[in-house]
Amino acid sequence: MKFGGTSVATVERIERVARHVIAARKDGYKVVVNLSAMAGETDRLVGLTEMAGRGDVSRTADYDAVVSTGEQVTAGLLAIILRRQGIPARSFAGWQVPLVTDDTHGSAEIIDIDATAFETSFERGEVAVVAGFQGVTADGRVTTLGRGGSDTTAVAFAAAINAARCDIYTDVDGVYTTDPRIVPDARRLDRISFEEMLEMASQGAKVLQTRSVGLAMNHGVQVRVLSSLCEPGEKAACTIIVDEDDIMERRVVSAVVPSRAEAKISLLGVPNIPGRSAIIFAALADGKVNIDMIVQSQARTGEAANLSFTLKEGDVARALAVLAEYKDEIGFSDIVADQNVSKVSIIGVGMNDHSGVAAKMFKTLGDRSINIQNISTSEIKISVLIPSEYTELAVRALHDAFSLGEVR
Ligand code: ASP
Ligand code: MG
């Protein structure tokens, strides 16, 4: 059972978490609980490291020593509350399990989990309450797994103990066809495939950390997303993430996902000769800038080309700095950054064997005079880049055009 930041935001809410845990025990389950920090706490801790570093945002072992503390607080508090109610419980920091990671501080990868600690807890009849989001390197330094990482630690623990299920409790009762704050008739999906969930998470849906979905898919962990804001037993609504084959009705489009934190950088007048793109993207990779959509304009041999790509808003400064450094080697004449763009994606496994989905998407946007700047596709996704001010209009129009509000 994993509980997110809003679910553990106060001691009162952690009392409700305890009730969910007790209910699961009554149902006969042995439970490992994985917790986030109280809502807002990780942001506060990150802010403290930046103050101490005078704006230095590098992710070091000491950064991790600070930001990992939020989860230790909630894990300890839940264990206290459970024991107070006569339920044997023990809290664990990541290193006490241990959950071993590599040494990429701030976004470490899991290498191994020793599940013996949990077996010992189960033998003693205890609930094991583990701080999420954190691990330890082989040489004993604390690490964290990147923002939203407690989804990933939860799925990893589920895989390690061969759990019947990994229940992710959050502040919504499942995965929706789109953001209900934008479209009031957005609908909760009863089932969604791993593939769709993976695309949704990576296109900006914030329900689950992308890595956690990939991990669940690879290890066959059965994941449910449900709300902790109701009392146990009160309402059983949730979204179950399943294999594509287990979805009876293949919808053409299952969800519309907006992402506002996007930016676009255009390089103008890039010499149109072999090897230039390689230099540009090697430089960006060096600067650890993650690139999403890439568009290169047609140019005749010998003429200069324009190349634009999208990235996260937070990476723009770093990208501009590395590109400036390589300006002579790349040979572009001008560079333009635009933060005023959003990405809107439609996702659905049924897209695979349906034609006309892109045409319908583009027509829907065109009819509203929304100009598409970039397009990218996968087998089950189409994303467009549009001016930010049209985000909500585009999401509403697409949700409507693909009839996602209708119960089928
Ligand atoms: N507390 C961490 C964060 O805010 C990890 C998590 O909640 O998943 O990113
Ligand atoms: Mg989260």
**CA dist list (Å): 217 to 57, 137, 193, 214, 220:** 32, 25, 10, 5, 5
* Residue-wise pLDDT tens digits, 306-315: 999 999 999 9
Average pLDDT over all residues of the chain: 94
Q: Which residue has the higher pLDDT, 58 or 189?
A: 189
Distance from the CA of 147 to the center of ligand 1, in angstroms? 5
- Closest-lying ligand 1 atom to the alpha carbon of residue 133: 5
- Closest-lying ligand 1 atom to the alpha carbon of residue 43: 4
Q: 35, 59, 133, 134: which to mutate for ligand 1, most atoms within 8 A of CB?
A: 133
Residue 72 has pLDDT above 80, yes or no: yes
Q: Whole-model pTM? A: 0.89
Residue 246 has pLDDT above 90, yes or no: no
Please give all residues whose beta carbon lies within 6 A of any atom in ligand 1, as ranges.
4-5, 36-37, 42, 70, 132-133, 147-151
Distance from the CA of 283 to the center of ligand 2, in angstroms? 31
- Closest-lying ligand 1 atom to the alpha carbon of residue 37: 1
Burial per residue of 159-183, b for 16 or more beta-carbon CB atoms within 10 angstroms, e otherwise: bbbebeebbbbbebbbbbbbbeebb
CA-nearest of 109, 118, 116 to 153 is 109
Distance from the CA of 178 to the center of ligand 1, in angstroms? 22
Residue 353 has pLDDT above 90, yes or no: no
- Closest-lying ligand 1 atom to the alpha carbon of residue 70: 1
Ligand closest to 8 (CA) is 1
pLDDT of 235:
66
How far is Cα of residue 197 from the mean position of the Cα atoms in its chain?
10
Closest residue to atom 6 of ligand 1, CA basis: 148
The lowest-confidence range among 118-127, 162-171, 263-272, 347-356 is 347-356
Pairwise CA distance, residues 208 & 213, whole Å: 7
Distance from the CA of 65 to the center of ligand 2, in angstroms? 20
Counting residues of the chain whose pLDDT is more than 90, the rounded percentage is: 85
CA-nearest of 358, 400, 404, 364 to 377 is 358
Ligand closest to 171 (CA) is 2
Domains of the chain: 2-248 (3.40.1160.10), 256-401 (3.30.2130.10)
User: How many other C-beta atoms can be found within 10 angstroms of the C-beta atom of residue 351?
Assistant: 23
- Closest-lying ligand 1 atom to the alpha carbon of residue 36: 7
Do residues 204 and 259 make contact, with C-beta atoms less than 8 angstroms apart?
Answer: yes
**CA dist list (Å): 1 to 130, 156, 242:** 10, 12, 18
